[in-house]
Amino acid sequence: MLLVIFNHLLGWPTGGFIGVDVFFVVSGFLITGLLLREKESTGTFSFREFYARRMRRIFPMATLVLVVTVAASYVLYFADQADQTLLDALWAFVFLENWHLAAVGTDYFHLADGASPVQQYWSLSVEEQFYLLWPAVLWGLWAAGRRWLPETWHRFKGLRRGPAIALAVLCLASFGWAVQQTADHPTQAYFSTFTRAWELGLGALLAVVAPLLVQLPARMRAPMAYGGLAAIGLSALLLTQSWAFPGPWAALPVLGTVAVIASGTGGAQPKVGLLHSAGAQLVGRLSYSLYLWHFPVIAFLFVVVAPGPMTYALALAITLALSVASFYRIEEPIRRSDWLSRRPATDVAEEGTEKSASSAPAQSWRRRALNLATIGVLGAALVLTAQHNLSARVSPAAAATEASTRVDLGTPVSGAADGAGGFHVTFPDAQGILTAHLQAATVATSWPELQLPEEWDDWSLPVNAGNCSTGLVEARYCVFETPGATKTAVLFGDSHVAAWFPALRPGLEEAGYRIEVYYLVGCPVADVPIHHHTVDAPENSECADFRADAIARVAAAQPDLTVVSSFWKQVDLSMSGATGAAAEQEWHDGMVDVLRAVAPNTRDLLVLDSPPGAQSLKKCRTAVSAPQDCQRQVQELGAAMSRVNSRAVAVVHATLPHVRHRPVEEWFCAAGVCPAFMADIPIYTDGIHIAPAYGASLAPLVKGALKG
């Protein structure tokens, strides 16, 4: 639990996300052990009582946190983001959040980019989907085992033979599927129940074979425990988003967890200070409430307070306070009640432990309602207080100041809905009007009513909607035919060349070009070895393959125009470890090499910079934030890389004069300040990629750049 919280709060340890994998194993072990003990002590088990226990354990707290989170989102967010939180909460309420996140392509490793405050429910959804079917599967396996397995398999309790064999097969199949899906569809693999079932299954298998662990020598137990903890610790410290996860690298923390549990099962438990400490025991008891509360606390707190040491301490304090209150006022009383059970409270067992009448008094509905109201009021008071304290940021006085500082444009901006559901703006005076709008955005103190049509934040949608195919390691090769086209244009680069597509396409089609797009996420045009990797991006080795393939395609197509673009910040990701001037020189040399390879095979070659960037609107645009919270000064590295591109082009231009460079800062910034919106249009989708609607609005300016 602490690994998960610190990973989400601080980004350290980098592999802290493996806390969820540890949880899956522990959960599979505990719940399956409960079912086995009930079956073997009574000869049967009650499906009703099992699901009643799950409801008492999971549902009340899960629902409460969802309600408080949605209420807080309508206080702190604008309506569109609050509505999205409500939709996410509905998926979480029915324990399908993992499939929802997979369907919308959520990148777990980019949580800072406006992550849903209920995103933590994905793992709870996986767990509950597993347990929806697992009791019935166990029952069927017991019946099948008694009927078909030979007597020679009676090496331990006979009722456990079928489950052991079936679980071993299930785990192997699920693990194999996880490995394949992680390679082919990493986003879906991360959230899928089928790619995570082996983790719960290994915990369940350990519970099934627990009787065999009595034979484990005492001298092996402590080394197993410490070895397992070491595997978990190393996973947390070493794993990053660049490692294939969950398949195969989740096996390291999962097997470490199995070793720790096995070391204390079926014999004397080794004395491991970390596990036996009072602090660890307390965190364990509070773990469910901690897990539910920590994510919305972090998400909402960072909306109203800038990250920093005091903010981190405050987030931990609020999470702990809410969790303690939840545990003692909501979680424990309801868990120990007889709600939904046919048995009296004195007979209801939780995770295999009988309760006495004195420790588990039945709770009245009135008392339960009071408990739920107590924590609800506490959470609501928190967000309302935050809103009150920050209301000065969007006060009427500030609005009056804004009215006096806005730039008088003279000529209004005209707008009309485009065919893709976006918003297209025409600038009567091109760069002058655009600059005026950008200047107005940099001094605005309240948010305009932004045009945010459905899927406004999908930078890849316009290009991926074309006639595309995948090539080497999910590189995309898209073709857009233009009726009567007599020329060919190629767009080549990383995700940024794809994001430029809405800005480039109108001018290219008007000039009679058919368009081919070659791009691979995370792979720059410059021949520079990088180690950049996200959930959906390739390793560097595939970058080299893609780059060579794209150069070969340009040679075969002999286009009339080639436009190349890639993200300037990737210079920081060199595998050589170069920094500063050395890294810039490495990028310069790599760019020169590629330009010299491409230029002889195209009539015109344009190097187009990627935009300077701002903050992500999905994160920083809230009901308690101001537009200045989302803008950014031009970063020196971005400006430096534009100069590097210019120098590289100058080297090649000396012998191949049709190679040219276009800086783009003036299209995104005014006087060195880069806002997140222009007029009522978002400029970026995620802080770095151009929003399609803004790209379309830039088309008249970009058209001029294409002509040289």
Over the stretch 435-445, which tens digit does the pLDDT of each residue have? 999 999 999 98
Q: Is 408 left (phi over 0), alpha (psi -120 to 50) or beta?
A: beta
Band of residue 424 on the pLDDT scale cut at 50, 70, 90: very low
Q: Over the chain, what is the mean pLDDT?
A: 83
Higher pLDDT: 164 or 226? It is 226
Residue 418 has pLDDT above 60, yes or no: no
Q: Which of 21-25, 211-215, 482-486 has the lowest average pLDDT?
A: 211-215
Higher pLDDT: 573 or 584? It is 584
Q: What are phi and psi of 204, to 5 degrees?
A: -65, -40
**Mean of the pLDDT values across residues 683-694?**
94
Higher pLDDT: 13 or 397? It is 13
Give per-residue pLDDT as tens, 272-307.
878 888 888 899 999 999 999 999 999 999 888 878
Band of residue 204 on the pLDDT scale cut at 50, 70, 90: very high
Q: Which CATH class is domain 415-706?
A: alpha beta
* pTM over cut 0.85: no
Higher pLDDT: 447 or 375? It is 447
For position 473, what pLDDT does the model report?
64
Token look-up 């602090």 returns 279
Determine how many CB atoms are found less than 10 A away from the CB of residue 80. 13
For position 353, what pLDDT does the model report?
43
Q: Which residues contact 619 (CB under 8 A, 6 or more apart)?
A: 112, 113, 114, 302, 687
What is the C-alpha to C-alpha distance for residues 694 and 701, in angstroms, rounded to an integer?
12
| Residues forming beta bridges with residue 479, ordered by sequence position | 467, 516
For position 150, what pLDDT does the model report?
44
Half-sphere exposure of 241 (CA within 13 A, CB side): 17
Residue 401 has pLDDT above 50, yes or no: no
**Mean of the pLDDT values across residues 180-196?**
90
Residue 156 has pLDDT above 90, yes or no: no
For position 167, what pLDDT does the model report?
87
Measured on CA atoms in the order 86, 630, 700, 479, is the torsion positive or negative?
negative
- Burial class of 285 by CB neighbour count within 10 A (0 to 12, 13 to 18, 19+): middle
Give per-residue pLDDT as tens, 425-435.
444 567 888 99
Q: Where do the domains of the chain lie?
A: 2-387, 415-706
| Residues forming beta bridges with residue 633, ordered by sequence position | 673
Band of residue 647 on the pLDDT scale cut at 50, 70, 90: very high
List alpha helices for 305-364, DSSP H.
309-326, 332-335
**Mean of the pLDDT values across residues 379-406?**
42
Q: Which residues contact 233 (CB under 8 A, 6 or more apart)?
A: none
For position 114, what pLDDT does the model report?
66
Residue 37 has pLDDT above 90, yes or no: no
Band of residue 694 on the pLDDT scale cut at 50, 70, 90: very high
Name the nearest CA neighbour of 423 among 444, 398, 449, 446: 449
Give per-residue pLDDT as tens, 508-547.
999 999 999 999 988 899 998 876 444 344 445 688 889 9
Q: Which of 346-360, 453-467, 500-514 has the lowest average pLDDT?
A: 346-360
